[in-house]
Chain A
Amino acid sequence: MIAFVIRRLLQAVLVMMAVGFVGFSLFAYVGDPVAIMLGQDFTEESRRQLVHELGLDQPFFVQYVHFLLNAAQGNFGISYRLARPVSELLLERMPATLELSLCAAAIALAVGVPMGVYTGLKRDTWLSRLLLTVSLVGVSLPTFLIGILLILVFSVVLGWLPSFGRGTTVAVGWWTTGFLTESGVRALILPSITLALFQMTLIMRLVRSEMLEVLRTDYIKFARARGLSDRAINFGHALKNTLVPVITITGLQLGGIIAFAIVTETVFQWPGMGFLFIQSVSAADIPVMAAYLVLIAFFFVLINLVVDLLYYAVDPRLRVDRTAAGGHGH
């Protein structure tokens, strides 16, 4: 178990170094930050001075190591566009993105899993068919369109919910939260639903197909032959056996939610990291882009690690317990 965690951590470090390399390569190959920062009027002297300050006159490899060492300490340099430390900018916006993403993931799970169970158990009811048909829409409609439609209906026509921004936030230490004010919660509703819809339909379809699979297994038939109640069979035996794939997909999707919050954040002018990233792209603000890339990769790696550990919690067959496995061959 510990060996497994250590192995996974080493792998994680390798992945992060590779992503760091890609992020760093942005500096060398995407746009010319010096030209952007200097603007129209500059002298050769001021240009050279800036190049030196930014460390751009050093060899590629030295720059890369510098970048990695700094990145490992959370230092991603200064934003070209806003002239503030990148880490500060990202930290400021991280709460907005994480709150939005977690809310979306919670909605996706809380609605997707029960719908999946229902459509798996009652395959032939009209409600199941309706849910399945509607879920196709959820899978195929692009996020920005859903966002715009929701804004149109709930903000413009009905006027129930705000169409942009985070509302009033409360600072808890460095973290700013929208959960504690009414306007913050109201502002969260539309973007989280927008972000959740795709994942929700995905989870629903996944749980459904897994349920159908599991309900065909011998141990479910045997559980019925033992006279267990439907509740115990469906939720105790069947649902738990669908969890491993559901955890995998949900975990991967959570990373995806955080990363692809970009679109939703742009549609709702949500002051999160994704919105910052889009602004940075249009300004060729490479330090922010690189840092965002590394940070998202970090989230993915972290989530994958947690997912792997959850497998252990759910499936006893993966717990390689040598002493107990000695029971084989009796």
Chain B
Amino acid sequence: MDANGTKLLEVRNLRVEFPSRRGTLVAVDDVSFDIAPGEVLGVVGESGAGKSMTGAAIIGLLEPPGRIAGGEILLDGQRIDNLPYEKMRRVRGRQIGAIFQDPLTALNPLYTIGRQLVETIVTHLDMGERAARDRAIQLLQDVGIPAAERRIDHYPHQFSGGMRQRVVIALALSANPRLIVADEPTTALDVSIQAQIITLIKRLCREHGTAVMLVTHDMGVIAETADRVAVMYAGRIAEIGPVRDVVRRARHPYTEGLMGSIPKIGETVGRLTQIDGAMPRLDAIPRGCAFNPRCARAFGRCRIDRPDPMDVDGARVACWLYGEGR
């Protein structure tokens, strides 16, 4: 939360369920967090931790049969999780933009990038085709596409992966949304391009005052980019707090393990630590704290009660180590 406490996005006790033949799977369970205007919130976790689901729930594009089963999502204090389809459609793109993982498949191969930009702009902003095209060229220049006036009439296959991700970013920003949900925006890219794209997202969002929910499994990206970070494990938030705190003095044993698995420059470490075991499957989440079977510091209560995030000097940690009665 920023200093004066204004919130752009509030997620309250969000629960996402997937009804399946063998019972209901809970992909996101009782997740709460806020994003302030212009803030970058990193969301990390292993595959299946529920981070992408949380992002999808916010932009209202959960894949059926997935659905929001509880909690609420508020944008500027207005609930958006229960909006009718047509109203939510106007929020998407206009208020909340999205950046997808794979730029090679996110663009329609049959239309020029210009057409795709113009249709997005015209859909949301009160602009004619001509003005929209000018804006599109401007956006392409902003995201660093050289010779934008010429390139605007090219098709997606005529761009490299990194360039296509820049186009995707331009599309996400085309109606000046207040929040961008970026789901693994660099995972599909070459390492050399990743840093460029991250820098670009960060710069553009600062310039436009756009908040970002940056979903990734790359702790390095988070450390460089985010203001705050939420660590997710088995559908819940394990720890959320300012990025410095979480990276330097991780409090949740899981976060500690995550940090220990990142090589650090200037430190001689014999072996990187690894967390034994694997994240439980959604249909086999253990009783108590979901992390307890892998946790070296687990004690009796961890195996019985599920911890909710509790305040621990500025951060919130879901761990009984910080609970009362310890």
Residues of A within 8 A of B (CB): 217-219, 221-230, 232, 236-237, 240-241, 314-317, 324-325, 327-330
Residue of chain A at shortest CB distance from B91: A227
How many chain B residues touch the partner (CB < 8 A)?
39
Given contacts A222-B100, A316-B155, A327-B158, whether A227 and B92 have CB atoms under 8 Å apart is: yes
Residues of B within 8 A of A (CB): 59, 61, 89-94, 97-98, 100, 102, 105-112, 119-120, 123-124, 146, 151, 154-155, 157-160, 162-163, 168, 171-172, 174-175
* In contact, B89 and A327 (Cβ under 8 angstroms): no
B155 contacts across to A, CB distance below 8 A: 316-317
Pick from B93, B151, B171: contact of A327, CB under 8 Å:
B151
* In contact, B160 and A219 (Cβ under 8 angstroms): no
A219 to B92, CA, bound (A): 15
A102 to B283, CA, bound (A): 56
* In contact, B109 and A315 (Cβ under 8 angstroms): yes
* In contact, B160 and A226 (Cβ under 8 angstroms): no
A227 contacts across to B, CB distance below 8 A: 89-94, 120, 123-124, 175
Given contacts A327-B151, A330-B163, whether A219 and B158 have CB atoms under 8 Å apart is: no
* In contact, B110 and A224 (Cβ under 8 angstroms): no
Given contacts A227-B124, A228-B93, A317-B109, whether A328 and B158 have CB atoms under 8 Å apart is: yes
* In contact, B171 and A316 (Cβ under 8 angstroms): no
Residue of chain A at shortest CB distance from B115: A236
Pick from A217, A226, A236: contact of B105, CB under 8 Å:
A217
Given contacts A222-B98, A224-B61, A237-B108, whether A316 and B157 have CB atoms under 8 Å apart is: yes
B93 contacts across to A, CB distance below 8 A: 225-228
**Least Cβ–Cβ distance between B84 and chain A, in angstroms:** 13
A224 to B59, CA, bound (A): 10
* In contact, B110 and A314 (Cβ under 8 angstroms): yes
A241 contacts across to B, CB distance below 8 A: 108-110
Residue of chain B at shortest CB distance from A218: B105
Pick from B98, B100, B109, B159: contact of A330, CB under 8 Å:
B159
**Least Cβ–Cβ distance between A246 and chain B, in angstroms:** 13
B100 contacts across to A, CB distance below 8 A: 218, 221-222, 225
A314 to B59, CA, bound (A): 32
**Least Cβ–Cβ distance between B179 and chain A, in angstroms:** 12
B91 contacts across to A, CB distance below 8 A: 227
* In contact, A324 and B109 (Cβ under 8 angstroms): no
* In contact, A315 and B163 (Cβ under 8 angstroms): no
* In contact, A222 and B110 (Cβ under 8 angstroms): no
A219 contacts across to B, CB distance below 8 A: 105-109
**Least Cβ–Cβ distance between A256 and chain B, in angstroms:** 27
A330 contacts across to B, CB distance below 8 A: 146, 159-160, 162-163
A227 to B107, CA, bound (A): 14
Residue of chain A at shortest CB distance from B95: A227
* In contact, A225 and B146 (Cβ under 8 angstroms): no
A101 to B112, CA, bound (A): 36
**Chain A to chain B contacts (Cβ below 8 Å), 6 pairs:** A219-B109, A221-B61, A226-B120, A227-B90, A227-B175, A230-B89
A328 contacts across to B, CB distance below 8 A: 158-160
A317 to B109, CA, bound (A): 7
User: 11 additional contacts, CB 8 Å, given A226-B92, A227-B94?
Assistant: A219-B105, A219-B107, A224-B92, A226-B123, A227-B92, A227-B123, A229-B89, A316-B110, A324-B154, A325-B158, A329-B160
Residue of chain A at shortest CB distance from B59: A225
A316 to B120, CA, bound (A): 21
A229 contacts across to B, CB distance below 8 A: 89, 123
B108 contacts across to A, CB distance below 8 A: 219, 223, 237, 241
Pick from A228, A317, A327, A329: contact of B123, CB under 8 Å:
A228
**Least Cβ–Cβ distance between B190 and chain A, in angstroms:** 12
A325 contacts across to B, CB distance below 8 A: 158
**Least Cβ–Cβ distance between B105 and chain A, in angstroms:** 4
Given contacts A226-B92, A329-B160, whether A316 and B123 have CB atoms under 8 Å apart is: no
**Least Cβ–Cβ distance between A232 and chain B, in angstroms:** 6
A240 to B119, CA, bound (A): 16
**Least Cβ–Cβ distance between B94 and chain A, in angstroms:** 6
B159 contacts across to A, CB distance below 8 A: 327-328, 330
* In contact, B123 and A222 (Cβ under 8 angstroms): no
Given contacts A327-B159, A328-B160, whether A225 and B168 have CB atoms under 8 Å apart is: no
Residue of chain A at shortest CB distance from B183: A225
A240 to B89, CA, bound (A): 22
B146 contacts across to A, CB distance below 8 A: 330
A222 to B183, CA, bound (A): 12
* In contact, A240 and B110 (Cβ under 8 angstroms): yes
Given contacts A237-B108, A330-B159, whether A228 and B102 have CB atoms under 8 Å apart is: no
**Least Cβ–Cβ distance between A242 and chain B, in angstroms:** 11
A226 contacts across to B, CB distance below 8 A: 92-93, 97-98, 120, 123, 171-172, 174
A316 contacts across to B, CB distance below 8 A: 109-110, 112, 155, 157
**Least Cβ–Cβ distance between A102 and chain B, in angstroms:** 27
**Least Cβ–Cβ distance between A23 and chain B, in angstroms:** 41
* In contact, B98 and A225 (Cβ under 8 angstroms): yes
